[in-house]
Structure 1
């Protein structure tokens, strides 16, 4: 943490900056998924996922398919998951990443994801041992629909903080949180109704309006000496000289 003194003013937390950088892949995938979400909260189709839309997060992302009420198998796996387990995770259950004693918790969360279309977030802590140093992780699971319309697919992201070390690395679940896709949007205040042309005529925008200038009629012509009507001469006059 760096600062310039003065009671904490101007202090920049490097820890928070590092956390934001580490969680960037999760935020990218979530934002992409929300962009595909229907206005009524309808879960996106698996066929709508374009890898180019999450290019900077592909290393940490994965796609899965439901194969049992509380179990999903990975169809596509990012290289980071393969590095954590020391093998190609494609075709393996997602629960392979989780310690056996916590797999029931994961299964219950998976059931809510597929049955109710909820977003699932997990805070993870890796098992430690010989060649396995301190390692934490954050996982995000988002539901997807198959081409048949059933919610039996998912897209996920797993990022870790620390050295991978000796593999495989399995994780204990520290916490699980779930929410409906539109829960966050519902908390935002409603946008005001757009103003029509008639509304603008009745209620001008004060912030952009200029002060009105009162109308003043032109002054009446004043007459000078006899024969002088007070009219101004034209700007151009023809002058004839016969001296030559």
Structure 2
């Protein structure tokens, strides 16, 4: 896997920020669990399939996890969502667009990220900060977007996790994107080396960067039954 982060505007060299993987796993542990599960599912393939997702594999992160379907370029709707996402909005969120969690000025960056996740494909980690106000204290969050294929083999599905630190307060809470990390995906045997960096989005909001995606060791076997990727028919002369 190669990590390829591109700045949305000029002068991207100044936007490269060093990362510390221990901090994110400590502050946003549910992100780490969903990420590890996705890696275990895909194995050496490019991405896993939506049908392979078993909620038992991310049991401790279910409240923060969701499955998103890309219904148009840059537009994703929640098909399955954990209770934490409902708490952030103060309502049932299934069927809602993911953009409902974002401030209007952040939605262009979100749409571009969703499009890249499904077309490149790419894994995205976004650093978020909620708008504050009366009854709405400081709320920091991390969003993870992991591409998957649908029943037709097209990358239109996303396994995601939205983890937050702080009191939710008065809902709904909507977020600005303060940093993002984009990791282009390759089959593991095709790209043994990868590099990571974080870039700030075009809104220029600042926030202490948190570590993003890392290739974690799989802690479980997501597919206990061995699969045979290729079958070859051998015909012998009788």
Normalising by the residue count of structure 1, what TM-score does the alignment of the two structures yield? 0.67
Relative to structure 1, is the Cα distance of residues 101 and 51 closer, same or farther in structure 2, using a 3 angstrom cutoff?
A: same
Relative to structure 1, is the Cα distance of residues 96 and 70 closer, same or farther in structure 2, using a 3 angstrom cutoff?
A: same
Correspondent of 2:42 among 3, 25, 37: 37
Structure 1 partner of 2:233: none
Structure 2 partner of 1:94: 98
Distance 2:55 2:26 in 1: 21
SS at match of 2:35: helix
Distance 2:27 2:126 in 1: 15
Structure 2 partner of 1:23: 28
Distance 1:89 1:45 in 2: 23
- Cα offsets for 1:172-223 (capped at 9, x unmatched): 00011101234997228xxxxxxxxxxxxxxxxxxxxxxxxxxxxxxxxxxx
- Structure 2: stretches of 5+ with no match in the other structure: 1-20, 195-238
Distance 2:38 2:23 in 1: 24
Q: Compute the RMSD of aligned alpha carbons.
A: 1.9
Structure 2 partner of 1:194: none
Q: How many residues align?
A: 172
Normalising by the residue count of structure 2, what TM-score does the alignment of the two structures yield? 0.68
User: 104-113 or 174-183: which moved more?
Assistant: 174-183
Instruction: Spell out the pairing of 1:15-164 with structure 2 (5 A cutoff).
Output: 20-39=25-44, 41-164=45-168
- Cα offsets for 1:31-66 (capped at 9, x unmatched): 110111142x42110000000011010010000101
Distance 1:160 1:28 in 2: 14
Distance 2:42 2:25 in 1: 24
Q: Do the aligned partners of 1:137 and 1:159 also contact (CA within 8 Å) in 2?
A: yes
Q: Do the aligned partners of 2:68 and 2:76 also contact (CA within 8 Å) in 1?
A: yes
Structure 2 partner of 1:177: 181
Correspondent of 1:187 among 182, 186, 193: 193
The Cα of 1:18 is off from its aligned counterpart by 7.8
SS at match of 1:160: strand
Relative to structure 1, is the Cα distance of residues 126 and 33 closer, same or farther in structure 2, using a 3 angstrom cutoff?
A: same
Q: Do the aligned partners of 2:25 and 2:32 also contact (CA within 8 Å) in 1?
A: no
- Cα offsets for 1:54-108 (capped at 9, x unmatched): 1010010000101110100000011001001101110000010010111000000
Relative to structure 1, is the Cα distance of residues 36 and 19 closer, same or farther in structure 2, using a 3 angstrom cutoff?
A: closer
**Which structure would you say has the larger Rg?**
1
Q: Do the aligned partners of 1:59 and 1:78 also contact (CA within 8 Å) in 2?
A: yes
Distance 1:168 1:183 in 2: 39
Q: Do the aligned partners of 1:22 and 1:159 also contact (CA within 8 Å) in 2?
A: no
Which is bigger in relative contact order (C-alpha 8 A, separation at least 6)? 2
